[in-house]
Structure 1
Amino acid sequence: MLKLKKLWGAHSPVVAKLAIIGLIIDQAIKIWLVHAYNMAENAPISLAPFLDIVLVWNKGVSYGLFQQDSAFGQWALVGFTILASIAIWVWSAKSDNRFEAWCLGIILGGALGNGVDRAVYGQVVDYIHFHVGNFSWYVFNAADVWIVLGAAGLIFESLIIGKTKKT
């Protein structure tokens, strides 16, 4: 039996808050775009010459990798998201580093946001499209931003902050 200490740590309250806030922001934007604005039937929104809001359904993971057209594949990604979320939570509960825990909370919010999409729609709602001239960046969402920011923070902590603590 897992000890409660392994599932709840000093930073667990802030990790939970960050994950919930990230999930709520992500889902609020997606619900508005899909249901209120009805993005599937309305024109893309141009926010700047290099930035549009468009609707793209992603049946895979980051960068459209591992596209899943079958129900089994889609639910396998939901299962993977659940396992990854549990692993992130356990890691954060064991962490004695506040910055690391915050980064994990941000990542968890993004994972949960995309996981909800997979469970509800069978695919992820992507909508942010950066482009310049003929260059077009992949379409992503707020949950992806949370995951990238959290991962960048973990890398920064590992390479920069971690080294200054050891010296």
Structure 2
Amino acid sequence: MKKYSLAGLIAAVIIILDQVTKVAVRNNLELWSSKTIIPDYFNLVYVVNKGAAFGFLNRSDINWQRTFFIIVTVVSLAAITMLLKSTKDKDYFQISGLGCILGGAVGNLIDRIIFGEVTDFLDIYAGTHHWPAFNVADIAICFGAIAMIISVYRNKSNASDTV
């Protein structure tokens, strides 16, 4: 499978999963509500975030976040496309990582464009210590970053083998 097809397929699956899960949350939970799944560890919640990861710039007293994050995402999508173009056809970790990041970025971009904010719904915690709520797009971006790190490490190891 060509690298563009593989990255595009991965991105498409992530976008669909992300949007389907967000629609399910919006249709089945009240905003700011919570449903316990595993007591003391995991809840489904319905929260929205105008900012970025971990609530960065998620403030009601500023109104430029939406435009800012849309522009940043579009620039990031262009950078991902350029990275994909320079990726070797057999570097499946990098291709998969870029596909995951692409899918996650587009998933959250759709929310920003349509709603002006991103829907988050996964709440992992231990006792009173909560990780910030997140969604499928966020998971994909994290897995994509991990795959990219693995790719860099593997390529560095392969380069030193040929020296």
Q: In the alignment, does 2:99 pair up with 1:105?
A: yes
Q: Give the aligned partner of residue 23 of structure 2.
A: 31
Q: Give the aligned partner of residue 54 of structure 2.
A: 63
Q: Give the aligned partner of residue 3 of structure 1.
A: none
Structure 1 outlier segments of 4+, above 3 Å: 68-72
What is the aligned length? 155
Residues of 2 paired with 1:164 and 1:73: CA distance? 40
AA matched with 1:110 = G
Q: In the alignment, does 2:78 pair up with 1:78?
A: no
Q: With the length of structure 2 as denominator, give the TM-score of the two structures.
A: 0.88
Q: Could you tell me which of 93, 104, 108 is aligned with 2:85? A: 93
Q: In the alignment, does 2:121 pair up with 1:127?
A: yes
CA RMSD of aligned residues (A): 1.6
Q: Give the aligned partner of residue 140 of structure 2.
A: 146
Residues of 2 paired with 1:89 and 1:99: CA distance? 15
Q: Could you tell me which of 38, 44, 47 is aligned with 1:53? A: 44
Residues of 2 paired with 1:39 and 1:114: CA distance? 20
Distance 1:73 1:26, change over 3 A: same
AA matched with 2:47 = V
Q: Which runs of 5+ in 2 are unaligned?
A: none
Q: Give the aligned partner of residue 165 of structure 1.
A: 158
Residues of 1 paired with 2:122 and 2:101: CA distance? 18
Secondary structure in 1 matching 2:64: helix
Q: Give the aligned partner of residue 34 of structure 2.
A: 44
The structural deviation recorded for 1:68 is: 5.4
Residues of 2 paired with 1:163 and 1:39: CA distance? 48
- The answer on whether the counterparts of 1:60 and 1:68 sit within 8 Å (CA) in structure 2 is yes
Q: Deviations over 1:99-155 (max 9, x none)?
A: 201110011000001111111110111110011112111111110000000101111
